[in-house]
Chains A and B, each alone.
Chain A
Amino acid sequence: MGAALAAFLGSCALLQFVLPEPHVDGFSQKLDFLREHGRDTDTIFIGSSRFYRGISPRVFDEEMTALGRPTHSFNFGLDAMMLPESAYVLDRVLAQKLPHLQWVFMELDDLHLKPWPAHRGTQRLLYWHDWERTKNLLSKSGDWSEKEKLKRHLARAWELREFIKLHLKEFLRRATNVGAGATLAADRLDPSAQDQPALGPDHDGFGPARSSLPPRQRASYRNDIAQAARAPVGHAADRYAEKVWKDCAARVRDHGATLVFIVPPAFPIRSVRFAKEASAPGPVLAFADLHRYPELYRTQMRSDPDHLNEQGAKIFTRLVAEKFAGEVADKRIP
């Protein structure tokens, strides 16, 4: 039994080492691009579709050049990329050892136990389920770091058993390479499925949303915005997310770069912040503010309530560049 188990685990580890990585839509194209063309890249944006559709590296570089701090940036945003997937992507980007990497911008977010529904059963959910990410999610699911009775931990874990089961299953599937050969064969048999336009028209990772908010949604959007302006909301990232962000910041520092957090202008407004600003793992550039950045919430700037369109992305990117350049000039960002 022991010999069989040892051989099984050893063989799984060997196969994982030997086999090429299966194709993951968006992620694989962007990582391949960085591997081949990332020598000059010094700035990387990692986040969800609010980054992918909202930040244009071309505009950012132009603005930074105009501000006297030329950059060469790349957008590694992916639709529905949430923490801890973004932390995994950061590790993979850092593993490329980009020689000029100086700044990494990440979308400040909570740690999400519930995966994006469309990712279930796909490579997109599987590929980032290494032990570190799974461990982060499992620790949050039982809230084990809090000192309270075991019964309460177990009750919470029982409530969240569906997610615990799901993440453990994905971890085991990844660790034992379940279906990896079949997926690789399918990738080889149908390479056309990999031709997703993830790199965008400028080949900088930015995927602009060319549409505007549909007219029938505008009235209700304006109404919702008016209500949100009267009752601004914000919350501190939970301690599990904060721990992950601290680890991310330390890793970026180890590579001689700086991690900068961005809170994008999403709607409904999710104004995430760190519980204690003094102990925050990195500087935060917050744009989820209706009063300070009303132009980002105008109907003409949005492709849907949650996302900026191409025009909005230009304005948002310029604002990011200006604010960032200001912080660098003030030496609040090294």
Chain B
Amino acid sequence: MLFVEFRFLWFFLAVFAVYWTLRGNVPRQVWLLACSYAFYAAWNWKFLFLLIGSTLLDYVVGLMLGRAQKPAARRAWLLLSLTVNIGTLALFKYCNFFILSAAGLLSWLGLPTSMSTLNIVIPVGVSFYTFQSMSYTIEVYRRTLAPVSNLLKLAFFVSFFPQLVAGPIVRATAFLPQLRSARTFDRVDVRGALVLFLTGFIKKACIADVVAPVADRYFAAPQNFTAASAWIAVLLYAIQIYCDFSGYTDMAIACARLLGYELTINFRFPYFARNMGDFWHRWHISLSTWLRDYLYIPLGGNRGSRWFTSRNLMITMVLGGLWHGGAWTFVIWGALHGIALVIAREWSDRKSQGDWLARAMRWLAWPLTIYIVCVAWIFFRAPDLHQALLIARSFVLFQNPGKISLPSWIFLAIAVLTVVHWCNSRALFSRWWRGGPDMAFAAGFGGAVSLVLLFIPAHYAPFIYFQF
């Protein structure tokens, strides 16, 4: 059930109507938990047991961490949670990757191989709710969060349907306190939530799904296209993945907000970042902060030599790449970002004020950042390393492998989208709909929805991040 489908609209209207009709915190949370499980079961009901199992494990671990006093016992409980959660991820997401990589290595060494891959279906959203669940046990272990004694609350936190399958990865410290008191409809920013949902819908249905076929056409056979087409396709993919993922997040945040809950912000106009560090403060913020707090800082962070910090950055980014899926293309994507972050860090440490290069970089910072991000997207999107290198050659070295050209007016369309996005980043549009009476807003919203429907493609593509 996708947020952009009509059946989600009916589902959400039913959830919303019953939720606000119920009195009291517990009946409402029970209702939302049941709806969340039904939402998840709509994909594959069998994996519901995995979700419930993960929740039960972390519930027990949380309680035991609260009781245990000895550091060794606490460490053992935490280790159990991390092993099972990461083991689940490893089994579903990385098993075949490790088998294929081992087979490739043995074959490279000239040794005989007879390995076969497993026929595994990846449970939708497993990376998201596993990380979310782990954040709970880690925080309880660190004693920054009291263990939850009510199973309903923890199950609700792990499975809350707006963010269940593609994030944002909500932290236990941010969400669990919201469950203590009953939500009141008077405090819901209905206008803001509706506009946010519509914005997300436009990003997904009217932009991401419209540009996807053009990008797909190129990535399916890059050897047939010109270098200019490589630029068009890679830029379109950059737009597609941003609009797809941030569109989903906008809709998730809006749905949660209409039910009285606040989710973590996940994007802050990442393509206007002026360096790679800035990019990661704006792109998939819930993942980057998770990796920072639970991986980079425990590894030592920047509390050491320059080499030590660079090593930690590289480990964090490579594992961040691997989080997206078991493929070398994701590892290289993460490594490219790691290298770019290390270089950016070195640059900011060494640059001297007044230097002509520093002055030039003020102008070059934005296009250079976008360029690096786009080069990395090539590895993220390409089906395999061979194709990725072919596209990268075309994109970076302007080598013309083929003769087919994608229409060059797409550059103009990209420029228009960039201007609209820039206006949005300056909150120019929000002034219109924030002011004015409710009746005018309602009429404007109804008219806007009818306009948005005009540009929906015939077939929806699943959200890209559902596969992660």
Known: A176-B450, A182-B210. Is A7-B455 also a contact (CB below 8 A)?
A: no
Query: A131 within 8 Å of B by Cβ?
Result: no
Asked if B300 CB lies within 8 Å of chain A CBs, one says no
Q: How far is the CB of B1 from chain A (nearest CB, A)?
A: 15
In the complex, what residues of B have CB within 8 A of residue A4's CB?
A: 442-443, 445-446, 449
Mark B405-447 against chain A: 1 for CB-CB distance below 8 A, else 0.
0010000000000000000000000000000000100111111
Bound: A277/B114 CA distance, A: 75
Whole-angstrom distance between the alpha carbons of A1 and B210 in the complex?
A: 30
Contacts A3-B439, A8-B449, A121-B459 hold; do A179 and B454 have CB atoms under 8 A apart?
A: yes
Is B458 interfacial (CB-CB < 8 Å)?
Answer: yes
Q: Evaluate contact between A11 and B447: CB separation under 8 angstroms.
A: yes
Asked if A181 is at the interface (CB within 8 A of a chain B CB), the reply is yes
Q: How far is the CB of B340 from chain A (nearest CB, A)?
A: 36
Contact A180 B447 (CB under 8 A): no
Q: Output the least CB separation between B17 and chain A (Å).
A: 12
Check B450–A15 contact: CB distance below 8 A. yes
For the A-B complex, the count of residue pairs with Cβ-Cβ distances under 8 Å equals 68
- Number of residues of chain A lying within 8 A (CB) of chain B: 27
CB distance from B458 to the nearest CB of A (A): 6
Is B455 within 8 A of A8, CB to CB? no
**Least distance between B442 CB and chain A CB atoms (Å):** 4
A12 within 8 A of partner (CB): yes
Chain B contacts for A12, CB-based, 8 A: 450, 453
List A183-215 residues whose CB lies under 8 Å from chain B: 183, 189
Cα A122 to Cα B444 in complex, Å, equals 30
Instruction: Tell me what chain A mostly uses at the interface: helix, strand, loop, or mixed.
Output: helix
Q: Is the CB of B443 within 8 A of A177?
A: no
**Other-chain residue from B443, B445, B454, B458 in contact with A15 (beta carbon distance below 8 A):** B454
Q: Is A178 an interface residue (CB 8 A)?
A: yes
Please state if B456 and A3 are interface contacts (CB–CB under 8 Å): no
Across the interface, A180 reaches (CB within 8 A) one of B210, B442, B454, namely B454
Residues of chain A with a CB closer than 8 A to B455's CB: 179, 181-182
* B450: contacting residue among A121, A169, A177, A189, CB under 8 A: A177
Chain B interface residue count, Cβ-Cβ cutoff 8 angstroms: 20
What residues of chain A lie closer than 8 Å to B446, measured between beta carbons?
3-11
CA distance A123 to B459 in the complex (A): 13
Q: A4-B443, A5-B446, A6-B443 are in contact. Are A11 and B458 (CB under 8 A)?
A: no
The answer to whether B109 has its CB under 8 Å from any CB of chain A is: no
For residue A5, which residue of chain B has the nearest CB?
B446
Bound CA span A122–B457, Å: 11
B120 within 8 A of A: no
Chain A CB within 8 A of B115 CB: no
| 1-32 of chain A: CB within 8 A of chain B | 1-12, 15, 19
Contact status B449-A179, CB under 8 Å = no
Q: Which residues of B contact A3 (CB under 8 A)?
A: 439, 442-443, 446
> Is the C-beta of B451 less than 8 angstroms from some C-beta in chain A?
yes
With a cutoff of 8 Å between Cβ atoms, the chain B residues found around residue A182 in the complex are 210, 454-458
For the complex, give the distance between the alpha carbons of A178 and B457 in Å. Answer: 8
A residues near B444, Cβ cutoff 8 Å = 7
Q: In the complex, which residues of chain B have a beta carbon less than 8 angstroms from the beta carbon of A178?
A: 453-454, 456
Instruction: Return the chain B residue nearest A178 by Cβ.
Output: B453
Encode contact with A along B2-14: 1 for CB under 8 Å, 0 otherwise: 0000100000000
* A-chain residues with CB within 8 Å of residue B443 when the two chains form the complex: 3-4, 6-7
Pairs of residues from A and B, 10 with the lowest C-beta to C-beta distance, nearest first: A7-B446, A181-B454, A8-B446, A11-B450, A4-B446, A7-B443, A3-B442, A4-B442, A11-B447, A12-B450
A-B contact pairs, 20 of them (CB 8 A): A3-B443, A4-B442, A4-B445, A4-B446, A7-B443, A8-B450, A11-B450, A12-B450, A172-B6, A176-B450, A178-B454, A178-B456, A179-B453, A179-B457, A181-B454, A181-B455, A182-B454, A182-B455, A182-B456, A189-B407
Residue positions of B touching A, CB distance < 8 A: 6, 210, 407, 439, 442-447, 449-451, 453-459
Interface residues of A (CB under 8 A from B): 1-12, 15, 19, 121-122, 169, 172, 176-183, 189
A4-B449, A15-B454 given; 17 more Cβ-contact pairs under 8 Å: A3-B439, A3-B442, A3-B443, A7-B443, A7-B447, A8-B447, A11-B447, A19-B454, A177-B450, A177-B453, A178-B456, A179-B455, A179-B457, A179-B458, A182-B210, A182-B458, A189-B407
